Amino acid sequence: MRSFGYRLPKCSARSFHKKGRDQLPSELAETLGPIVETIGLLTEKIKDYDRRIEELTAERYPETRLLRQVSGVGALTALTFVLTLENPQRFVKSRLVGAYLGLVPGTDHSGEQDPQKRISGEGEEMLRRLLVGSAAHYILGPFAPDSDLRRHGETIAQRGGKNAKKRAVVAVARKLSVLLHHLWVSAEVYDPLHNARCLGIQAEEVA
């Protein structure tokens, strides 16, 4: 649209087909109108699938509620996590989940993990993409609330260096996978700033 000198009003992806359709310039309405209508149909389809996933998780996988305590973890991510791991007792320690999902750095020639290398990419790709591309990006995004996960990612990003932001996103996804397994096993109420509070108490005790 910019090439024609027009700018559509800001709106969410879900409302674009409604707001954008009425704002199309007359000379482009005939060409772009059908495309906007198709976007609208796809948006409604997605909403319907989201509703079905919500119903499925509520009826057959109530344990997903434990995972969805974490801001940024929706029904699809929680359900995929549960179906992928199947039985949380398979993992003796929660931190093993990150490696199982391929969210740990690759190894160098000596067999040691190298933080500068890309993640191993092993495990279930769909779940890894949801944790990285959806949940972790939201946690580090402008609308997410403060949390230990967010602070962890921000610390890594602030160190700078090559691909610092990408490493921060992957690190948050890895921490998130560990946290989700822990919540599933323990059935605890999630405290997004648990670590920060503990560090604060320790600092007070030392002072």
pLDDT tens readout for residues 48-88: 999 999 999 999 999 999 999 999 999 999 999 999 999 99
> Where is pLDDT greater, at 122 or 125?
125
Please enumerate in sequence order all residues whose Cβ is within 8 A of that of 7, keeping only pairs 6 or more positions apart, or say none.
Answer: 1
Q: Where are the domains of the chain?
A: 12-60, 62-206
pLDDT for res 145: 96
The predicted model scores a pTM of 0.79
Residue 202 has pLDDT above 70, yes or no: no
Question: Poorest-confidence range of 4-13, 58-67, 78-87, 153-162?
Answer: 4-13
In DSSP terms, 91 is beta-bridged to: none
Q: How confident is the model at residue 148 (pLDDT cuts 50, 70, 90)?
A: very high
- Is residue 25 scored above 70 in pLDDT? no
Q: What is the pLDDT of residue 13?
A: 65
Q: Residue 144 above 90 pLDDT?
A: yes
Closest CA to 173 of 57, 51, 72, 52: 72
Distances (CA, A) of 182 to 31, 51, 57, 94: 52, 27, 19, 6
Fill in the amino acid letter for 83. Answer: L
Spatial neighbors of 3 by CB under 8 A, at least 6 apart, are none
Q: Is the per-residue pLDDT at 111 higher than 50?
A: no
**How many Cβ atoms sit within 10 Å of the Cβ of residue 78?**
25
Helix, strand, coil shares of the chain, percent, nearest 5, are 65, 0, 35
Nearest to 3, CA basis, from 21, 28, 35: 28
What's the CA gap between 203 and 178, in Å, rounded? Answer: 26
Residue type, 11: C
Query: Which of 1-5, 19-23, 131-135, 192-196 shows the lowest mean pLDDT across its residues?
Result: 1-5
Least confident interval from 6-15, 42-51, 123-132: 6-15
Query: How does DSSP classify residue 87?
Result: -
